[in-house]
Amino acid sequence: MPLTPAEVQVVAAAESAKILYLSLHTATPGTTGASEVTGGSPAYARKSTVVTATSGTGTSTTVTFDVPAGVTVTHFGTWSAVTGGTFYGGNALSASKTDSAQYQVTLTVTIPVTAT
């Protein structure tokens, strides 16, 4: 039996509340958060976010990452902590990004919850 719209919203809100940090990755993070970006000056770090749920979709605040020169970012991840913590999952970026100099990536994540 599919979820009702009200149930979808409850699930979206509960899942959204868990996500406190976003990360960038150089390949699929899999189920562990592998391939997270490191290095740079200023140094790469996970970014704090607030994910709010509306109509069954969680949407993060926009964050900006510092990325080292020559590093290609392809995926994002969602976490419970700025270091270590629980990895909740990730997905591919709409397009990979790279630059020969230190650069920044701005990211807003949308996480849909479906009723099936």
pLDDT (tens digit per residue) in 1-23: 677 878 878 877 888 788 999 99
pTM: 0.90
Please tell me whether the peptide bond between 5 and the residue prior to it is cis, using omega within 30 degrees of 0.
no
Q: What pLDDT does 1 receive?
A: 67
- pLDDT(116) > 70: no
Domain that holds residue 23: 5-112
Q: Over the range 56-82, which residues count as b (16 or more CB within 10 Å of their CB) and which as e?
A: bbbbbeebebbbbeebebbbbbbbeee
**How big is the chain by its Cα radius of gyration, in Å?**
15
How many domains does the chain contain in total? Answer: 1
Q: Is the pLDDT assigned to residue 39 strictly greater than 70?
A: yes
Which segments of the chain are extended strands (E)?
Answer: 21-25, 47-48, 51-54, 57-60, 63-67, 73-79, 87-97, 103-107, 110-112
